[in-house]
Amino acid sequence: MNPSPWNVTRILLADMFRRNWVILIFGFVLAISPPALILGALKAKGALNVDDPAMIVIHVTFTQIMGMCFGVGVLQVAGWPSRLFLLPLSNRAIMLFQMVPATVLVIGQTILSGWILNALFGLNWPTLGNALAFGMVFATFQSFLTLFQKSVLMLPTLGSTLVLEALWVKSRHGPIFSLPTHYWTMVTPVECGLIGTVMAFCYALGMYGITRARCGKEIQTGLIVYLSRAFSNRIGRKAKVFRNGIEAQSWFEWYQKGVVFPIIVAIIVPATAVRWLFTDSRFHDLLETLQVEGWMMSAAAMIGGMILGNMRTSDSSFAMSPFLGTKPLATTSWSRLLLATAFRSLAWGILIWLTVYLLVLGGSELTGENLPKKPFVWWHFPGQILAAWTAMTFGLCLSLSGKLVYPKILGAIYFGWLITALFVRGLAPAWFTDYFTVSTLSGCGIALFILTLWVWGLALRRRMVANSQAIMACLVVASLTAIAGWQLAHEAIPSEGSRIHLFLLVSGLLSLVVFPFAAAPLALASNRAR
Amino acid sequence: MNQPIIEIRDLKRCFGKKVVLDGVSLTIPTGGVFGLLGGNGAGKTTVLRHTLGLLAAQSGSVRVFGLDPVADPVRTLGRIGYLSENRELPEWMRIHQLISYSQAFYPNWDPDYAESLRNMFELDPKAYVRALSRGQRARAGLLVALAHRPDLLVLDEPSSGLDPVVRRDILGAIIRTIADEGRTVLFSSHLLDEVERVADRIAILHHGRIQLCVPMDQILSSHRRVRIRLSSAVSRFPTEGIWIHCEGSGHDWSVVAEGEMHDIQTEVSRLQAEILTVEPMNLDDIFVARTAGKPLTAEVRS
Amino acid sequence: MHIHISTRDGVPIYLQIVRQIKHQIASGILAPGRELPSIRELAENILVNPNTVARAYRELETVGLVEKRRTAGTYVAEGPSPLARHEKVRMLSERMDGLLAEASQMKVPLEDLIELLHQRARAFAKKPPLQNPQDQAP
């Protein structure tokens, strides 16, 4: 085959899609599922009013979320430009190859998902403006990645550019510092021109970056690198003395992986407050957002747990690395140590969130602003903690097993259910939709319950947990379920029949609270000795 | 002989449909250096990983210090020092962190010895592992594997891809380890020069089976390359009995024989052939003769 | 003490050590009464298994070329070695055997070979002596 740049590019593109189409489809479905589920729920309740001004907020928020979810996948697919440096390609070809497919994919995704949602729920969401804007954002991403590679300067420069772009897009939907007031229906030639100019600028920036990076002249990072080096020198200088392997391994797990979750929380929660400053600065809204984030913390906790359970030291394979595997540490004490680290990680994250929450609450007291009229719901806070614990330890056990097959199975079940649910919502009569939701939810609860039982049985048989621990676990689950049941009996629920199904789901989820105590040693043992 | 340090019985292992170990039985005596030879993909790493409890036996059994390494990692791994093929270490640690981290796991850790090794290997305590060169990384891994004076040192391809200076360090470490009474080294390699220098016993692994397991000083004296002339031309020379490998055609054949000289003479006269020359073989040639071509049949295994 | 190990031509390492020490004793490089390096020292120095060095020393001890003393050390045996002359002859014969084999393969008659040997000896006398020709015996 003729090794012309054009042919090489074609082969690379084909290869990129052949290897990554799963990620792209996964990203697309993941991106579209939250708006589809929420709009579906609204439609099922009959509360979907296309002309409601709140729909504009939903539109802006979800278009952003969808773009980000899919964008992560696209970045993964596009990869670092440096992997192309050794190929017989011109700088221009590399830059185009980095920029064009990513931009086209993101534009296509925004248009396609907007079109699907419009068709499913009869919405009138405009797509072109946001799609082009997302194209611009991704061109920016790619050019900065090319320019700064892994330099520390990337974060501030890319961050500030993205904020500027986001503010501009926001200004298309109404005044910058308030909630969006209208759709961006008309894309004027001036706006197109602006987007085009920014893209061209990004291209030029990326070309400059490639020209430098390809001959090893990466961007000098100056002061920031100096400061970060000085800082990390300080951290690592003191010699630590450990009394035993458990202490050393706790240090390892915490320092390398456990800190990730608190850091995620420490970035996201204050960022919410900053973002809130740009909309309407009412404490009421911020408190509500923080409440929602308390629940969203579970998602971050799941990621934190998956990171914590990752026992590789390098990226060679998914399995536990021999460096760790050959440490003379009993599997059971190791898994206990991991759970303790998970707990520590979670405690720090919750502490950060709670501090911000209390500060905002204090602020609202000081300004004398009217607090939410809804009465304070007592079980939200413990519920959030339990949910985060469950999510984190479940994620921990998933990646601790070192086998890709479990996440794959779970992902397949979730997407299968999601797509079926979307079809049912869109097409089937209302009674069937109810029936479907209720039966799958309660089925899920029962399945989780059985899973927990099975795992405990296995761990008991292999003597990884003691009988007394099993009794403790039973007591914990029983009392939690009893409390949840009592609360559920007093909760206002739309239809009386779904109470029992909801109870089944909740008790299944609650049984997951004790799941990791049995699953973690099993997962670690199977990962360690394959 | 006292109790063997490692005893592997009829170990089988498949990864997916690929059979990697097909009934490996190996007894490694306490004390001395045991070299495990084999080409790339012969299953050396798989055998070593079983002895470390990183792989559970699918069938057959593995005993280290008389214990099952999967069931009892604390009592087996605590007495083993291990340097893996990829010499993977946590990238984010500094050398002094790596040392104090590793020290915590082993009650027998000798801080003075660790410090002298660190000096000898010229490892900067403040350097990050990720910034080390390949040779320095191997030395850091070796330090961590040696400093608790393990009863059993397991080295997986310790010197592949390293420069001669680092290779010397590794060979020196092996020699110092067994110079102390009763300690054992098990290492895999395909660099036969160093195997011949340091091994007391060797085993050749080929196609998931042990082709040969003998003391080092026997292997050279028991293998010979014999050039013979047959009285009648043949198209295939029968590789069976003492003959393990052949090259040639027609009347003239160059064959590798295993056995005493008089066995060879008897066999040659049975074939009605005459011996032209008999040459000693080095380990390289023996290895090639043992592992070249198709898997050898069971009868040929000693 | 300088010992060079080669793993190229199939001579067991212990035998290489034995031969080279014998040669050094026979040629007077190692004087009687001199202490040999300890097993561990020599092993680490030439990077071979200590057991191999120990075996070589045992071999040398049984033929009486070296002796172990109570103060834990190995020494070159005192007095004119009974084996020195015999050993010299043996080593030279070994090399001459190789020469003869090659000559017969090249169909060079013995008389020519002897003549050649005389020629070389005259040339050799004019040149400075070679260094360590002992390294490898075939």
Cα distance between residue A235 and residue A248, in whole Å: 16
B63 and B154 together in one domain: yes
Q: Are A400 and A520 in contact (CB under 8 A)?
A: yes
Count of domains observed in chain B = 2
Does residue C135 have a pLDDT over 50? no
**Cβ B171–C47 below 8 Å, yes or no?**
yes
Distance (Å) from the alpha carbon of B61 to chain C's nearest alpha carbon: 30
Option in B179, B199, B282 nearest C9 (CB): B282
For the record, the structure tokens of A528 come out as: 């360690």
* Domain annotation covers residue B212: no
* Domain annotation covers residue A425: no
Cα distance between residue B302 and residue A169, in whole Å: 78
Asked whether at least 3 C-beta pairs link A and B within 8 Å, the reply is yes
User: Tell me: the pLDDT tens digits for B211-259?
Assistant: 888 888 888 888 888 888 888 777 777 767 778 888 877 788 888 888 8
B202 and B236 together in one domain: no
User: Tell me: the pLDDT tens digits for B54-110?
Assistant: 898 889 999 999 899 888 888 899 999 999 888 888 888 889 989 999 999 998 899
| pLDDT at site A224 | 56
| pLDDT at site A89 | 76
Does residue C88 have a pLDDT over 60? yes
Cα distance between residue B150 and residue B80, in whole Å: 5
Listed residues B145, B174, B206: the one ending a domain? B206
**Cβ C48–B175 below 8 Å, yes or no?**
yes
**Cβ B54–A326 below 8 Å, yes or no?**
yes
- Chain B residue at shortest CA distance from C16: B197
Residue B148 has a CB neighbour count (10 Å cut-off) of 22
B245 and B115 together in one domain: no
| pLDDT at site A233 | 60
Cα distance between residue C30 and residue C21, in whole Å: 8
Q: CA quadruple B121, B125, B127, B128: dihedral positive or negative?
A: positive
**Cβ B175–C5 below 8 Å, yes or no?**
no
- For chain B, positions 185-224, list CB contacts with chain A under 8 A: none
Half-sphere exposure of B53 (CA within 13 A, CB side): 30
ipTM over 0.85: no
How many residues belong to chain C?
Answer: 138
Q: Are A9 and A97 in contact (CB under 8 A)?
A: yes
Q: CA quadruple A140, A145, A148, A153: dihedral positive or negative?
A: positive
B294 and B241 together in one domain: yes
Lookup result for tokens 């009569």: A429
Distance (Å) from the alpha carbon of B257 to chain C's nearest alpha carbon: 14
For the record, the structure tokens of B299 come out as: 């009868």
Confidence class for position B284, pLDDT limits 50, 70, 90? confident
Distance (Å) from the alpha carbon of C14 to chain B's nearest alpha carbon: 9
Option in C10, C48, C49 nearest B220 (CB): C10
| pLDDT at site A477 | 92
CATH code, C17:
1.10.10.10
Which 8-state DSSP code applies to residue A257? I
Distance (Å) from the alpha carbon of A340 to chain B's nearest alpha carbon: 19
* Domain annotation covers residue B59: yes
* Domain annotation covers residue A47: no
B200 and B68 together in one domain: yes
User: Tell me: the pLDDT tens digits for C20-50?
Assistant: 888 888 777 888 888 888 888 888 888 888 8
- Chain A residue at shortest CA distance from B85: A322
* Domain annotation covers residue A339: yes
- Chain A residue at shortest CA distance from B46: A530
B202 and B229 together in one domain: no
Which residues have CB under 8 Å from C77's CB, separation 6+? C32, C64, C65, C66, C67
Measured between beta carbons, the chain B residues lying within 8 angstroms of A323 are: 84, 88-90
Indicate the average pLDDT of chain C. 79
Measured between beta carbons, the chain B residues lying within 8 angstroms of C40 are: 175, 179
Mean pLDDT to the nearest integer, B130-137? 88
B191 and B108 together in one domain: yes
Provide the number of CB pairs (under 8 Å) joining chain A to chain B. Answer: 90
| pLDDT at site A471 | 93
Measured between beta carbons, the chain A residues lying within 8 angstroms of B88 are: 313-314, 316, 321-323
* Domain annotation covers residue B286: yes
Distance (Å) from the alpha carbon of B193 to chain A's nearest alpha carbon: 27
Phi, psi for A239 (deg, rounded to 5): -75, 130
Q: Order across the sheet with C73-76: list the strands.
A: C35-36, C73-76, C66-69
Phi, psi for C47 (deg, rounded to 5): 55, 55
B37 and B116 together in one domain: yes
- Tell me if chain A has a CB within 8 Å of the CB of B73: yes
Count of domains observed in chain C = 1
B259 and B290 together in one domain: yes
Does residue C89 have a pLDDT over 90? no
| pLDDT at site A357 | 85
Residue type, A24: L
Cα distance between residue A248 and residue A310, in whole Å: 17
Confidence class for position B144, pLDDT limits 50, 70, 90? very high
Count of domains observed in chain A = 1
Domain of B18, in residue numbers? 6-206
Which residues have CB under 8 Å from A413's CB, separation 6+? none
Question: Exposure of A196 by Cβ count < 10 A (0-12 exposed, 13-18 middle, 19+ buried)?
Answer: middle
Listed residues B206, B233, B252: the one ending a domain? B206
Option in B198, B220, B280 nearest C49 (CB): B198
Distance (Å) from the alpha carbon of B14 to chain C's nearest alpha carbon: 35
B56 and B159 together in one domain: yes
Asked whether at least 3 C-beta pairs link B and C within 8 Å, the reply is yes
For the record, the structure tokens of A288 come out as: 């509500």
- Chain B residue at shortest CA distance from A235: B94
**Cβ B84–A237 below 8 Å, yes or no?**
no
**Per-block average pLDDT, block size 10, for chain A (530 residues)?**
65 79 82 82 75 81 84 80 77 83 89 88 84 89 79 77 85 76 83 91 88 72 59 60 88 86 85 70 75 84 87 68 89 92 93 88 74 66 90 91 84 81 73 79 90 93 90 92 86 68 87 92 89
**Cβ C44–B200 below 8 Å, yes or no?**
no
Does residue B295 have a pLDDT over 50? no
- Chain C residue at shortest CA distance from B218: C12
Cα distance between residue A190 and residue A425, in whole Å: 40
B83 and B146 together in one domain: yes
* Domain annotation covers residue A322: yes
The torsion of the CA quartet A23, A25, A27, A32, rounded to 10 degrees, works out to -170
Query: Which subunits sit against A, judged by 3+ Cβ pairs under 8 A?
Result: B
**Cβ B285–C10 below 8 Å, yes or no?**
yes
Measured between beta carbons, the chain B residues lying within 8 angstroms of A248 are: 100-105
**Cβ A242–B54 below 8 Å, yes or no?**
no
Domain of C35, in residue numbers? 1-138
| pLDDT at site B299 | 37
* Domain annotation covers residue B216: no
For the record, the structure tokens of B81 come out as: 């020092």
